[in-house]
């Protein structure tokens, strides 16, 4: 029974795309100022990013997800990406 | 010669460019549908402003995979004259025909106002007819026009004279206020290594009649006609 339970949940990958350090993140800066205005002055920097949740077919490789990141999900000039997926 | 204006779902300045060419320049112009891998024999391609494919993910990121873009890329690599205006510039960056990327405007606001530009390269097909030393006025209208490239790329652009347009004030001076979006080195437009591909955030297509407030954009389209008809083999 355990195997059928397992197959009902398709494998997933979570991709996090962030700005490279040194790239201006005006949204992050604005959020940080807003937090300070709300009294949370212990938060000294905010950097925004984007998360993608990918549902995969069972045989999709990490390389395919890497390819998706390089080709579309991230712009390598300004962003980096990080992939979390079960091995 | 014939102009081709690419139309994506979400383009909203395609008719501005089309009308500028048809009604002001009185030159042949055709629309090129994004899903057709066909340039219809156009000698000069315009990628117009707008929000192609809703600008989902990043401005220009999805447009890059349109069938027509494959043809535009081939055309550009063979030396064909390509002008990207606003969203068209963003697409050229995503395609990699021009270096760099766009960030959200420094102040996060969508900026729609007239800006002043200095032209610094008069050798592209779109700038040969611009008066040297003149300050051009045309509108910008964008939320992601904050041009960014790594320092070594910016240095290279500067050294090779590939910064075609820079934001200045009405007197032609570079000031922080004259830069509407935070672009590095006040860059408003750049060109490819060979000079045949030009991208800029301001809208020459919206500065072609007195009633629009400026006619400074005409020279860019007229330059293309002169460049391509005067020396058809050069490009």
pLDDT band at A24 (very low <50, low <70, confident <90, very high): confident
Residue A6 has pLDDT above 70, yes or no: no
| % of chain A at pLDDT higher than 70 | 91
Residue B99: per-residue pLDDT: 98
Residue A33 buriedness (CB in 10 A; 0-12 / 13-18 / 19+): exposed
Whether the Cβ atoms of residue B203 and residue B85 lie closer than 8 Å to each other: yes
Tokens of B157: 């652009």
Of B11, B17, B24, the C-alpha closest to B203 is: B17
**Would you report the helix, strand and coil content of chain A in percent, each value rounded to 5?**
35, 25, 40
Residue A1 has pLDDT above 80, yes or no: no
Residue B233: per-residue pLDDT: 41
Eight-state DSSP code of residue B54:
G
A24–B103 CB contact, under 8 Å: yes
- By Cβ distance, the residue of B94, B99, B104 closest to A27 is B104
Tokens of B31: 């629309």
Residue B125: per-residue pLDDT: 97
pLDDT in tens, B34-70: 999 999 999 999 999 999 988 889 999 999 999 999 9
CATH of the domain at B61: 3.40.50.880
Domains in chain A, CATH or no CATH each? 2-23+49-84 (3.30.1280.10)
Tokens of B28: 């042949």
Residue B232 has pLDDT above 50, yes or no: no
Please report the number of interchain residue pairs, chain A to chain B, with beta-carbon separation below 8 angstroms: 34
pLDDT in tens, B174-185: 999 999 999 999
The H or E element containing residue A83 is: strand A79-84
Mean pLDDT value of segment B154-177: 98
Determine, yes or no, domain membership for B235. Answer: no
Residue B219 has pLDDT above 70, yes or no: yes
Tokens of B49: 């402003």
Rounded distance between C-alpha atoms, residue A73 and residue B22, angstroms:
38
Mean pLDDT value of segment A46-74: 95
- By Cβ distance, the residue of B101, B107, B108 closest to A75 is B101
Residue B113 buriedness (CB in 10 A; 0-12 / 13-18 / 19+): exposed
Residue A7: per-residue pLDDT: 56
Residue B40: per-residue pLDDT: 97
Residue A2 has pLDDT above 50, yes or no: no
Separation in Å, CA of A11 to nearest CA in chain B: 23
pLDDT band at B230 (very low <50, low <70, confident <90, very high): confident
- By Cβ distance, the residue of A72, A73, A78 closest to B103 is A78
pLDDT band at A87 (very low <50, low <70, confident <90, very high): confident
Mean pLDDT value of segment A56-67: 95
Determine, yes or no, domain membership for B188. Answer: yes
Residue A9: per-residue pLDDT: 83
Chain A residues touching residue B106 (CB < 8 angstroms): 24, 26
Strands of the sheet with A12-19, listed across from one edge: A49-55, A12-19, A79-84
Q: Please give the tally of structural domains in chain B.
A: 1
Supply the mean pLDDT for chain B: 95
Residue B180: per-residue pLDDT: 98
Boundaries of domain holding B181: 3-230
pLDDT band at B203 (very low <50, low <70, confident <90, very high): very high
B107–A78 CB contact, under 8 Å: no
């Amino acid at each position: 029974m355990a195997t059928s339970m397992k197959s009902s949940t398709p494998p997933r990958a979570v991709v996090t795309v962030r700005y490279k350090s040194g790239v201006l993140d005006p949204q992050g800066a604005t959020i940080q100022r807003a937090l300070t205005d709300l009294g949370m002055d212990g938060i000294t920097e905010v950097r925004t990013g984007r998360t993608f949740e990918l549902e995969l077919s069972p045989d999709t490789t990490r390389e395919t997800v890497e390819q998706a990141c390089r080709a579309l999900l991230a712009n390598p000039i300004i962003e980096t990406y990080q992939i979390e997926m079960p091995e | 010669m014939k102009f081709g204006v690419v139309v994506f779902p979400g383009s909203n300045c395609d008719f501005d460019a089309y009308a500028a060419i048809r009604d002001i320049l009185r030159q042949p112009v055709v629309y090129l549908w994004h899903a057709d891998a066909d340039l219809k024999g156009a000698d000069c391609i315009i990628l117009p402003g707008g929000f192609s494919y809703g600008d989902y993910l990043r401005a220009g990121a999805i447009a890059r995979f349109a069938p027509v873009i494959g043809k535009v890329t081939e055309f550009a690599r063979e030396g064909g004259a390509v002008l990207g205006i606003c969203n068209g510039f963003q697409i050229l960056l995503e395609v990699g025909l021009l270096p760099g990327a766009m960030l959200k405007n420094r102040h996060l606001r969508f900026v729609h106002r007239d800006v002043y530009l200095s032209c610094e390269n008069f050798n592209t097909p779109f700038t040969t007819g611009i008066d040297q030393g003149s300050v051009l006025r045309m509108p910008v209208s964008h939320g992601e026009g904050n041009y960014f490239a790594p320092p070594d790329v910016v240095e290279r652009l500067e050294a090779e004279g590939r910064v075609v347009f820079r934001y200045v004030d009405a007197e032609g001076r570079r000031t922080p206020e004259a830069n509407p979006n935070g672009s590095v080195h006040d860059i408003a437009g750049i060109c490819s290594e060979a000079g045949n591909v030009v991208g800029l955030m301001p809208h020459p297509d919206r500065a072609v009649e007195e009633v629009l407030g400026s006619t400074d954009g005409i020279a860019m389209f007229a330059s293309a006609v002169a460049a391509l008809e005067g020396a058809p083999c050069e490009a």
